[in-house]
Structure formats: C-alpha cells, structure tokens
Amino acid sequence: MSKPKVGFYWCASCGGCEEAVVDLAEGILDVVAAVDIVFWPVALDFKRSDVEALVDGELAVCFINGAIRSSEQCEMVELLRRKAKAVIAFGSCAQLGGIPGLANESSRAAVMDEAYKHAPSVDKGNTVEPIPHITVPEGKLELPVLWETVKTLDQVIDVDYYLPGCPPPVELIGNALKAILSGQLPPKGTVLAPDIALCEHCDRRETKPDKLSVKQFKRPHLTAVDPKECLLAQGLLCLGPVTRDGCGSPCIKANMPCTGCLGPTSNVRDYGAKALSAIASTAGANDEKEMEKILAGIVDPVGTFYRYSLPASFLHRRYQPTARGGK
C-alpha cells in the first residue's frame, strides 16, 4: 500500500501533454503498477478537495503542464507545490511559456476583445464578457481572472525538473519516470533531455554545407522540399542548430523544419535571440540592401524564434510603457 503517490495537472495548455502520457501505451501499465495516481483531472475523477486533504509533501512527484496565466492556475500550482516533494514542469508551456506565451505579444485587453468581440464566431455587438465576481440570490460567484502576462511555471512556483517538448517525447517521459522510480535523479533544475543540438544526430547532417549561405528564405507550404538535403541549406527556417536534441526529429523525418519545441541547450539563456543569431547570419549577402531583402523572407521574427519561449525570454513580453503590473 505504500506506493509513491503521483499527480498530473494542466494549466494553460492544449491537452497534447496529457496525450503524450497516454502515448506511453503499455508502458503506462508499469507506471500504474509502481505508483498511485491520486490526481489527474483529465483522466480520473479526483477533485481539488482530494488534493487539499493530502499531507504536505505527500505526493512523491507532480507533473504540471501548461503556462500560468490565470488566478486559478496560480492557486492550483501553489497548492500542488505544497503537496509534492518534486514538481516537474512538463512540456514547452510549463518550461518556457509555449504557444499560449505568445499572448505576451499582446495585452490582456486585446486578447479579451479578440475572444469576446471580434472572433468570427461571436455575434456582432456582443457585450458579454466574463466578470470575476457576481452576486446572485444563491450567493457570491467567482470566476478566475486572466492575467495581463503569461508566465512559465518556474516564474510562479519552485520547479525541480523540466521535461521539454511540445509535447515531451515518449522516450524522455519514460526515462524520467524510470529515474524517478529508481531514485536516480540528476541535480535539481536539470532539463531531463540530452544537452546537445538537434543537428548533431540529424539524418541530413552530411548534406549541411560548412558555410550556410541562404539566398531566399522559403516557407514549407510554398516549397517542394527535398527529403534528403539539409533543410537550412534549402532555405527553410529549421531551428535544429539551436534546439535541444531528444525528440528523434519526427518533424525533419516528415520533411518539415524544426520549430524549436524542445527549447535551448543549457548554455543558452534566451532561445529566441540565439535562434535569430543562428538564422540571420546565414543570409547569403554582404551588401546591406541585399541582406534586408533576404531577411524580409522571415515574416514574423517573434513568432518564429520565440514560438515556444516568449515568457522565458529576457524581454518577457511586449513593452507597454503605460500599462504595468504582472498579474
């Protein structure tokens, strides 16, 4: 009866991370045999009160996916932090902010306007918006408040380990579970994935020229992509040079460039800046005008280079000289 207790939770995420756990397939039976899952809202019927009833530190480990962008998510992860001995930031959103983190390019007001006023599926002239508090005859009701700025998990609570990826590759999840169950964990703060760049083990590595010189950046849906040649050499924005290895490169095997979901290796602090550096320096021109023309092919630098890591970057969010305040 003394199996270690494990919890899973999701915050601002798409559900893909939950899917990745299920993708362990038969492997999940070994997990269930070795641990008691006591909290997993997406799959099992446990409530917040069940977590509150646990003794502090009773969970051996809690896997939390998703970015943090609402008061409710903040409360839940603070609660789980108290109850868990170890917290693992699971997936790009929890580690670096992920796709929801791109909301930091905008303001809360603009996000709300888009969702409740301008989206094509909203009736024109809609004035209904969520309000955090309302009093009805039955009592006071409360809704979570959406924050101005999306945060990574470790900007809200202390995090012990990180499992990168969108979603984390099954092999890395399996290795992490084995390490946890055997008690053989690396130092706190480690990203549980290889610490080398994706290019190192790329099948197309032999075709990468010594000096990349891109004359035109191309977009994959507008290009006939050679299935053998280095994608960067073909002018596709492949972020393999700056992205952590460990995914088995499914995108590249499917003839699509790496978008960088496993994030940076440990000696890079700001993924987007490093990615920009690597890609911009391949522009094959020495004349300023020509450089500008080639680099204009990179349509959306922030969305391309900070696709999974805007809240974790140095700049953190769009500069708002008049509107300050994190939460």
Partner 1 sequence: MSEPTQRSDSFEPRIVAFFCNWCTYTAADLAGTARMTYAPNARVVRVMCSGRLDPQFILAALRNGADGVLIGGCHPGDCHYQEGNYKALRRFILLKRMLASFGIEEERVRLEWIAASEGEKVQRVINEMTDTIRRLGPLRLEPLPAEAAEGHGQKVAVHGGAV
Binding site for partner 1 (CB under 8 A): 89, 95-96, 105, 149, 151-152, 154-159, 161-162, 164, 189-191, 241-242, 263-270, 272-274, 276-281, 283, 286, 288, 291-292, 295, 298, 300-302, 305, 309, 312-321, 324-326
Report the C-alpha gap between 92 and 159 in whole angstroms.
14
Between 154 and 245, whose beta carbon lies closer to partner 1? 154
Nearest approach, Cβ of 28 to partner 1 (angstroms)? 25
Under 8 Å between Cβ of 299 and 218: no
Is the CB of residue 251 less than 8 Å from the CB of residue 257?
A: yes
Closer Cβ to partner 1, 35 or 291, answer by number? 291
Task: Give min distance, CB of 131 to partner 1, in A.
Answer: 25
Task: Write down the residue that tokens 């924050």 correspond to.
Answer: 147
Measured from the CB of residue 295, what is the shortest distance to partner 1 in angstroms? 5
Report the alpha-carbon distance of residue 223 to residue 273 in Å, rounded: 26
Q: How far is the CB of 10 from partner 1 (least distance, A)?
A: 19
Q: How many CB atoms lie within 10 A of CB 24?
A: 16
Tell me the closest approach of the beta carbon of residue 320 to partner 1, in angstroms. Answer: 7
Tell which residue, 168, 2, 186, has the closest CA to residue 86.
Answer: 186
Q: Whose Cβ is closer to partner 1: residue 225's or residue 273's?
A: 273
Asked if residues 6 and 54 have their Cβ atoms less than 8 Å apart, the reply is no
Contact 48, 129 (CB under 8 A): no
> What are the percentages of helix, strand and coil residues in the chain, rounded to 5?
35, 15, 50
Shortest distance, position 93 Cβ to partner 1, whole Å: 12
Residue placing its CB nearer to partner 1 in the complex, 255 or 259: 259
Which residue's CB is nearer to partner 1, number 59 or number 312?
Answer: 312
Question: What is the layout of strands, in order, in the sheet containing 5-10?
Answer: 36-39, 5-10, 59-65, 84-90, 161-163
How many C-beta atoms lie closer than 10 Å to residue 312's C-beta? Answer: 25
Residue with tokens 């992490």: 176
CB nearer to partner 1: pick between 54 and 240: 240
Distance CA 208, CA 241 (A): 11
Minimum distance from residue 27 beta carbon to partner 1 (Å): 24
Q: Other C-beta atoms within 10 Å of 326: how many?
A: 10
Q: How far is the CB of 26 from partner 1 (least distance, A)?
A: 30
Give the C-alpha separation, 44 to 24, whole Å: 17
